[in-house]
Amino acid sequence: MIDKLRQALTSRQKLEISGMGLIEAAVLIPIFCKDGEYHILFTQRSEQVPTHKGQISFPGGGRTKDDATLLDTALRESKEEIGLSAKDAEIIGELDDTPTTTSGFNISPFVALIPYPYDFKLSLYEIKEIFSVPVEVLIHKAKKRKEQYTFGNQVFVGYSFEYRGRHIWGATAKMVKQLLEIWESTCRS
């Protein structure tokens, strides 16, 4: 399955966004296999961080001058936030750039296969907790919604997933939706 997903991710044309004055950022979307079932790892941000307090997200953040690439950003932030070593993240592809409407970021998502189990070390300043959701649950059992919201004078379409009392929404849900669409099309082929 992962080889098919890698092929699907690397053979597609990634939508890149630039020139909109957004802050460059990157996230890592960690996937692991537990008991023969693939899971996506999420973080819940702490209430202490300056942006996206308490929200469900992926490990990541803004690009710094020391990051040669956005992949470097995703890997550095993953190390800082959850203690995931770059050598333990096998990058299998990228999703489309995902702009945020309220905080002004342009997020480059990188999909990675990680080992399981893993000895995560959370930065409690940044991350309240980590959890995972099986991919098949997100596809078939999670409560999904398509939502419209207004920001300024524009109407946007957003998505959300609810699973066991957790609400995945915004840019994170948009990335999950895209990954699941690719995942499902890969499974069918």
pLDDT in tens, 68-107: 999 999 999 999 999 999 999 999 999 999 988 778 899 9
**CA torsion sign, 65 to 68 to 76 to 111?**
positive
Residue 156: count of CB within 10 angstroms of its CB: 12
- Spatial separation of the C-alpha atoms in residues 107 and 145, rounded to whole Å: 22
Residue 16: count of CB within 10 angstroms of its CB: 10
Give residue 17's pLDDT band: very low, low, confident or very high (50, 70, 90): confident
Contact 142, 56 (CB under 8 A): no
* Residues 6 or more apart whose Cβ sits within 8 Å of residue 66: none
Question: What CATH architecture does domain 2-138 belong to?
Answer: Alpha-Beta Complex (3.90)
pLDDT in tens, 26-76: 999 999 999 999 999 999 999 887 676 779 999 999 999 999 999 999 999
Q: Is the pLDDT of residue 25 over 90?
A: yes
Give residue 188's pLDDT band: very low, low, confident or very high (50, 70, 90): low
Give residue 20's pLDDT band: very low, low, confident or very high (50, 70, 90): confident
